[in-house]
């Protein structure tokens, strides 16, 4: 679970940057990627994000898991735009006697959307891998994101892994008792697993609420205190964003 919550454990110049600097730079880059109408800049952002993830030492399997779903959506958008949008025919296929025409302008439009999806996902993944979740929440609090949203995100993040550990324990016990020996038995075991987790979640929430109230919880979670900004970090961030902005408008 530690690898899922914070995969980068070795010190790195990027991981040591102030979370606020990384977050503001990532938001600026996201705005550039989403607002771009061409291919080049979003693909450049995607390449930079992927290269940063590899440089941080993130396992290739974890990168694939993070990118698989968004890239699948990008591929679906590309296919739909190519075959069901546009006016300039590119080629046609005839499955089952039906004529399906691919359009050049639809392909271009779908490719631009897919590139923006890939670029945005790469930026978010790079920041997520380079920054602990609690640091990101503290940076969002500094940006005046509503405190209630941050508290809910922190609780959800923490107890998601608690429930995952509980699910692993129950699943291992069921497998040791041949709970998944057949399809019907496996389906019944999975239903029991889901029900057990729901009951466990309610019990855990009541226990944790009582424990936090007894320790003086007043509805606000204490977050990390930020150190003062460093001039070199801010300068490097501004130069990076400015350089990417110039490339965006080329």
| Whole-prediction pTM | 0.80
Tokens of 132: 């602990």
DSSP H or E run through 215: none
What is the full per-residue pLDDT of the chain (250 aa) written as tens digits?
444 444 555 667 888 888 999 999 999 999 999 998 888 999 999 999 999 999 888 888 888 988 999 999 999 999 999 988 878 888 887 777 778 888 889 899 999 999 999 999 999 999 989 888 888 888 888 888 888 888 888 888 888 888 888 889 989 998 898 888 888 888 999 899 989 888 888 888 888 888 888 877 776 666 667 788 889 989 999 999 999 999 888 7
Q: How far is CA 33 from CA 40, 55, 67, 131, in A?
A: 10, 22, 17, 21
């Amino acid at each position: 679970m530690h690898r899922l919550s914070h995969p980068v454990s070795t010190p790195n110049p990027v991981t040591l940057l102030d979370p606020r600097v990384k977050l503001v730079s990532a938001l600026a880059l996201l705005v550039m990627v989403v607002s771009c109408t061409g291919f080049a800049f979003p693909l450049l952002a995607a390449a930079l994000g992927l290269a940063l993830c590899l440089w941080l030492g993130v396992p290739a399997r974890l990168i694939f898991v993070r990118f698989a779903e968004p890239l699948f959506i990008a591929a679906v958008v590309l296919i739909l735009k190519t075959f069901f949008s546009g006016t300039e025919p590119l080629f046609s296929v005839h499955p089952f006697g039906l004529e399906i025409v691919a359009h050049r302008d639809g392909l271009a439009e779908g490719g631009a959307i897919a590139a923006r999806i890939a670029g945005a996902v790469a930026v978010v993944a790079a920041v997520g891998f380079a920054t602990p979740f609690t640091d990101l929440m503290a940076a969002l609090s500094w940006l005046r994101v509503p405190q209630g949203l941050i508290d809910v995100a922190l609780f959800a993040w923490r107890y998601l892994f608690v429930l995952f550990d509980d699910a692993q324990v129950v699943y291992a016990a069921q497998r040791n008792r041949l709970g998944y020996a057949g399809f019907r038995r496996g389906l019944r075991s999975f239903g029991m697993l889901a029900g057990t987790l729901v009951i466990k979640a309610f019990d855990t929430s009541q226990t944790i609420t009582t424990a936090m109230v007894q320790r003086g919880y007043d509805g606000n979670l204490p977050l990390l205190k930020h150190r003062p900004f460093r001039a070199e970090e801010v300068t490097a961030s501004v130069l990076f964003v400015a350089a990417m902005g110039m490339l965006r408008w080329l």
